[in-house]
Amino acid sequence: MTPGDDEARIRAALAEAHREDRTPAFDSVWTAAEGGRPVRRPARRWIALSAGLAAAAAVAVWMVTRPPPATGWHPTGTRWVGPTDFLLQTPDLVTLRTLPPLDPAADPLANPPPARRGLP
């Protein structure tokens, strides 16, 4: 099939698509336009849409500007305890919680050793 054939087919297709066009009378369309009364969507819908958008904007502003929740309050259930935590409760835990007492005499920081002589 040649490009000319293809174009003829498309031309025929477009003619066929437009064959049933029912063109309204020019005068009726022109007169309606002159009267300034084109078929338009009811304004009520736009008013409702605007009101909805304004309400959504107000809610968004309120959510952004509202004061933060009072501190000191914690939601319940936020402290999670693992089911195996009891394994950490060993008898040695008591001894590990306090530091063992040290002999002050043996503290090298409290009693530094005397400086050695003869050395640079």
Site residues (vs another protein, CB under 8 A): 6-24, 26, 29-30, 32-34, 36, 38-39, 41-42, 44-45, 48-49
In the bound state with another protein, the residue whose beta carbon lies nearer, of 2 and 98, is 2
State the minimum distance, in angstroms, from the CB of residue 71 to another protein. Answer: 39
Query: Which residue from 40, 39, 19, 41 is spatially nearest to 29, judged by alpha carbons?
Result: 39
State the minimum distance, in angstroms, from the CB of residue 4 to another protein. Answer: 12
Which spans in the chain are helix H?
A: 3-17, 26-34, 43-65, 93-96
State the minimum distance, in angstroms, from the CB of residue 40 to another protein. Answer: 8
d(CA 86, CA 84): 5
In the bound state with another protein, the residue whose beta carbon lies nearer, of 54 and 107, is 54
